[in-house]
A = this chain, B = another copy of it.
Amino acid sequence: MSKMEVFKRFSRTFNENSTLARMLIVFTVGGGGLMAYSDAKPENGMDVVNPSEADTRKKRVVVLGTGWAATSFLKGLKNSEYDVQVISPRNYFAFTPLLPSVTCGTVEPRSIVEPIRNIVRKKNIDVHYWEAECFKVDAENKKVYCRSNLTSNPNEKEEIIVDYDYLVIGIGARSNTFNIPGVAENCHFLKEIEDAQKIRRTIIDCFERASLPSLSDEERKKILHFVVVGGGPTGVEFAAELHDYINEDLVKLYPKVKNAVKITLLEATDHILNMFDKRITTFAEEKFQRDGIDVKTGAMVVKVSDKDISTKELKNGGAVSTMPYGMVVWSTGIGTRPVIMDFMKQIGQANRRVLATDEWMRVEGCNNIYAMGDCATINQRKVMEDILAIFGKADKDKSGTLTVKEFQEVLDDICDRYPQVGLYLKNNQMRSLTDLLKDSKGNAAKESIEVNLEEFKSALSKVDSQMKNLPATAQVAAQQGSYLADCFNRMEECEKNPEGPLRFRGEGRHRFRPFRYKHFGQFAPLGGEQTAAQLPGDWVSIGHSSQWLWYSVYASKLVSWRTRALVISDWGRRFIFGRDSSGI
């Protein structure tokens, strides 16, 4: 492939989402709005320093994070009338679904990362990136406070203060230790590239330690006991990868210790992969049993020391048992980052788990702050909360009753604004909202139905039960990011010609249609070239064919042609040469 061709393909990929990109609006912001830096020097001559001073007409968008949500936002953003600043301690985007593969060297760390500067540099908008970590959001004064970790000297940490007009928060989450003693100190996590690299080195270290001549059999078994906590897709995939790594590659190099190896998978609930179809759960549990992976369900970790891990059975009187380990990988779910906690207190969301936003990704109670991905959740509006407003809006003639005709006029808006309504209808095999009303009126003829407020309430009383929080997955974050980019691209346009549903509790229409998540399915690789796939419409596929589906979906979803080529060559290499076991 010639260099030229590759570049062409590159740019084609970058422009794939351009159907949405209509070049639009010029924000003319008079005066003000200079960027402030904590210790900006006045003699400062480089134009990189104050990117917004040069052109004060542009609105300053500050994006926190370079994960799925933020990167997808940046890739989707096409409106050159923004001045964008990206702030993240990590100057690259990582394709996290392949992290479990990195732990065992099936894929190399560098193959799944792409520098954020590379992702944004071919755009026709001003994007600046600062490698720093935000430690405070000041919503009142529209500033974010950040700190650079780049100098080795801790007294010298560079602080920068950045002003924004719009703030987009996509900084993800941290691993959740549930404050269980010893977890933070003694366990490995699986959120960042560095975590995966550390796990890889630790696996090899365990094998080298166990091979030392001075050990007893018992010590050897302790060292080669690998514990995975959390039976979700990540934990299961890691356990499967580890099993393959050991049985396909390491046993050849460490034949004398292979009988001492044990993998234990701990899960607090009754089954692993419990968010999947029952068929997948059963298949996975049976496969792991055949593979010799010890799956312990109903066991909650209560303590981790530097040598032992203690679990408590959730049934049968809660017996506590303790086992020695060589390595523990903790993969039980996500927790909130301190800066988000802090921000939530500031804006009166202290009681919540993560930042609450509305369906347009706007953080509740804040102006011009958006949040998406794992650090936020959409606080869906309940129909029953707004039932009075909906009824009032629909009852145009203020007759106190709603005719089918009146109702049909606001039907689409209701379904747009409250997606649970559509979901309820679908799950109850109803064709339209009028079926609902019909239900509440007995068997009257459709056209003559007329409901009062109480009947309307009773008809819609069950729809809110359909609301579900979105899972904290890459898929959700990526869709949110590109949704928000689309909103930003057409903000001025939609201000003039709003395209969203009716505002039931206000005047006019919402600017944009609310975010809707589209689920494309989920994979759970189970090792031995077998993968379970659960696709929309409860279509379940397990085995080698889904492994190939997995390969192709993941390859196609990678962020650039470079990473695509590298990951595919990593897979080929693993197939030919096996995984490397050097201790680096």
Contact mask for chain A residues 521-564; partner B; CB cutoff 8 A; 1 contact, 0 none: 00000000000000000000000000000000000000001100
User: Across the interface, do A6 and B257 meet the contact criterion of CB distance under 8 Å?
Assistant: no
User: Across the interface, do A92 and B582 meet the contact criterion of CB distance under 8 Å?
Assistant: yes
Assuming the contacts A150-B208, A205-B150, asked whether A582 and B216 have C-beta atoms less than 8 A apart, the reply is no
User: Across the interface, do A150 and B115 meet the contact criterion of CB distance under 8 Å?
Assistant: no
A179 at the interface (CB under 8 A from B): no
Q: Which of chain B's residues have a CB closer than 8 A to the CB of A576? A: 1, 3, 6, 565
User: Across the interface, do A130 and B211 meet the contact criterion of CB distance under 8 Å?
Assistant: yes
A584 at the interface (CB under 8 A from B): yes
User: Across the interface, do B115 and A46 meet the contact criterion of CB distance under 8 Å?
Assistant: no
Assuming the contacts A115-B253, A220-B46, asked whether A582 and B208 have C-beta atoms less than 8 A apart, the reply is no
Of the candidate stretches A105-113, A379-387, A407-415, the one touching chain B is A105-113
A176 at the interface (CB under 8 A from B): no
Assuming the contacts A91-B583, A204-B91, asked whether A212 and B158 have C-beta atoms less than 8 A apart, the reply is yes
Of the candidate stretches A17-25, A26-34, A37-45, A510-518, the one touching chain B is A37-45
Assuming the contacts A115-B580, A253-B117, A582-B114, asked whether A214 and B6 have C-beta atoms less than 8 A apart, the reply is no
Q: Which of chain B's residues have a CB closer than 8 A to the CB of A495? A: none
- Complex interface residues of chain A between 120 and 159 (CB less than 8 A to chain B): 121, 128-132, 148, 150-151, 153, 158-159
A160 at the interface (CB under 8 A from B): yes
Assuming the contacts A114-B582, A150-B205, A569-B569, asked whether A130 and B92 have C-beta atoms less than 8 A apart, the reply is no
A54 at the interface (CB under 8 A from B): no
Name the residue of chain B whose CB is nearest to the CB of A51.
B213
A577 at the interface (CB under 8 A from B): yes
User: Across the interface, do B257 and A48 meet the contact criterion of CB distance under 8 Å?
Assistant: yes
Q: Which of chain B's residues have a CB closer than 8 A to the CB of A49? A: 213-215
Assuming the contacts A110-B580, A117-B254, A209-B150, asked whether A216 and B44 have C-beta atoms less than 8 A apart, the reply is yes
A8 at the interface (CB under 8 A from B): no
A118 at the interface (CB under 8 A from B): yes
Name the residue of chain B whose CB is nearest to the CB of A3.
B576
Residue in A105, A562, A584 whose Cβ sees the most chain B Cβ within 10 Å: A584
Query: Per a CB cutoff under 8 Å, which of B1, B90, B217 touches A45?
Result: B217
When chains A and B are docked, how far (Å) is the Cα of A583 from the Cα of B117?
Answer: 12
Query: Per a CB cutoff under 8 Å, which of B45, B129, B566 touches A211?
Result: B129
Q: Which of chain B's residues have a CB closer than 8 A to the CB of A253? A: 115, 117-118, 121
When chains A and B are docked, how far (Å) is the Cα of A565 from the Cα of B580?
Answer: 14
Q: Which of chain B's residues have a CB closer than 8 A to the CB of A48? A: 211, 213, 256-257
A284 at the interface (CB under 8 A from B): no
Q: Which of chain B's residues have a CB closer than 8 A to the CB of A1? A: 576
A454 at the interface (CB under 8 A from B): no
When chains A and B are docked, how far (Å) is the Cα of A562 from the Cα of B197?
Answer: 21
A47 at the interface (CB under 8 A from B): yes
Task: List 19 additional contacts besides A43-B216, A48-B211, A115-B253; criterion CB under 8 Å.
Answer: A6-B577, A41-B216, A46-B220, A46-B256, A46-B257, A48-B256, A51-B213, A91-B581, A92-B584, A110-B582, A110-B584, A113-B584, A117-B254, A130-B212, A131-B212, A131-B583, A153-B306, A159-B214, A565-B573
A50 at the interface (CB under 8 A from B): yes
A194 at the interface (CB under 8 A from B): yes
Name the residue of chain B whose CB is nearest to the CB of A577.
B562
When chains A and B are docked, how far (Å) is the Cα of A582 from the Cα of B220?
Answer: 38
Q: Which of chain B's residues have a CB closer than 8 A to the CB of A204? A: 91
Q: Which of chain B's residues have a CB closer than 8 A to the CB of A90? A: 583
Q: Which of chain B's residues have a CB closer than 8 A to the CB of A215? A: 41, 44, 49, 158
Contact mask for chain A residues 209-250; partner B; CB cutoff 8 A; 1 contact, 0 none: 101111111001000000000000000000000000000000
When chains A and B are docked, how far (Å) is the Cα of A576 from the Cα of B564?
Answer: 13
When chains A and B are docked, how far (Å) is the Cα of A581 from the Cα of B565?
Answer: 17
User: Across the interface, do B132 and A212 meet the contact criterion of CB distance under 8 Å?
Assistant: yes
Q: Which of chain B's residues have a CB closer than 8 A to the CB of A214? A: 37-41, 49, 158-160
Assuming the contacts A46-B217, A46-B256, A256-B48, asked whether A193 and B584 have C-beta atoms less than 8 A apart, the reply is yes
A290 at the interface (CB under 8 A from B): no
A35 at the interface (CB under 8 A from B): yes
Name the residue of chain B whose CB is nearest to the CB of A151.
B209
Q: Which of chain B's residues have a CB closer than 8 A to the CB of A35? A: 213
The 3 closest A-B pairs by CB, nearest first: A92-B582, A48-B256, A131-B208
User: Across the interface, do A566 and B573 meet the contact criterion of CB distance under 8 Å?
Assistant: yes
User: Across the interface, do A160 and B92 meet the contact criterion of CB distance under 8 Å?
Assistant: no
- Complex interface residues of chain A between 251 and 273 (CB less than 8 A to chain B): 252-254, 256-257
Query: Per a CB cutoff under 8 Å, which of B43, B118, B581 touches A117?
Result: B581
When chains A and B are docked, how far (Å) is the Cα of A576 from the Cα of B43?
Answer: 41
Name the residue of chain B whose CB is nearest to the CB of A256.
B48
When chains A and B are docked, how far (Å) is the Cα of A287 from the Cα of B46?
Answer: 30
Q: Which of chain B's residues have a CB closer than 8 A to the CB of A562? A: 573, 577
Q: Which of chain B's residues have a CB closer than 8 A to the CB of A212? A: 130-132, 148, 150, 158, 160
Name the residue of chain B whose CB is nearest to the CB of A252.
B121
When chains A and B are docked, how far (Å) is the Cα of A118 from the Cα of B115?
Answer: 34
Residue in A39, A110, A150, A216 whose Cβ sees the most chain B Cβ within 10 Å: A150
User: Across the interface, do A213 and B50 meet the contact criterion of CB distance under 8 Å?
Assistant: yes
When chains A and B are docked, how far (Å) is the Cα of A217 from the Cα of B38?
Answer: 16
